[in-house]
Amino acid sequence: MDLKKIDKIVRLALKEDCGAGDITTSLLVPAGLEVEASILVREPSVVCGLEFLKRTFLILDRTAEVSFLVAEGAKVKPGKVIAHIRGKARAILSGERVALNFLGRLSGIATLTRSFVDAVRGTKAVVLDTRKTTAGLRELDRYAVRVGGGVNHRFDLGEMVLVKDNHRILCGAYGSLAAMMMKLRTKTFKPIEVEVDTIDELEDVLHEPPEMVLLDNMPAEKLRKAVRLVACLSRGRRPLLEASGGINIHNVRAVAKTGVDRISIGALTHSARCVDVSLDLHALKKGQ
């Protein structure tokens, strides 16, 4: 992510957490005291958010030294020390919670995403996120998905056309999905995706195929039938097929093996559990 964007987000988080100042630390800790600290991951994880960690401490203490012992996206075991910090004790204590919040949240998304990516490995399906992200922090959530090996879906409503069931209810005057597609083609050059709930709806829209079709809450048998229907089209008219709805880590491989191209999973961002990370403080030895 762009450093300016990271700094903007980190400063907002620090303002939220520190408020008028860290009263406990300012009362108890001498201003000039320097210390060292280690960042520890306490469970199997895909590390994500190292730059957010670093910028948190550097914004509070420009002289701080932050070194990483693993790369962004590294898969680590419990007990792994992933970073060292040396700097003013006040800054490290005041920035601890913000830094760990970023690291735990982003690593949680990356870890969950990697588990889905690993589960479909060997199939042609790619794992996508959705717009079910933390309000105002979509770019962070989407970044963590990429670090975990996933692919980002549309970032916002203006990026592409995605006709969902509620759109279809309000646009019944078109008579058919194919007629609706023909109308859309006269109004935009942006990619179009259409959600369908049944095989009949899929057959309808394939008369005027969009770039993508979202197969909503279809069981594996229907997904396989959808794949066969699209395979009958000439290569230039075949839309990408995206499965969505009711997909979890236990059934995602079965979904991928039906032959769909994409699997979108809202849980990557709306249900990821924060990874357990901690900061251990160490006093500097004499002479350091």
Q: Annotated catalytic sites, by residue?
A: 97, 132, 164, 195, 216
For Cα atoms 126, 181, 226, give the angle at the middle one, nearest 5 degrees. Answer: 45
In angstroms, the CA 116 to CA 111 distance is 9
- Tokens representing 208 are 């005027």
Closest CA to 17 of 106, 100, 85, 95: 95
Q: Please name the amino acid found at residue 263.
A: I
Closest CA to 261 of 242, 236, 237: 242
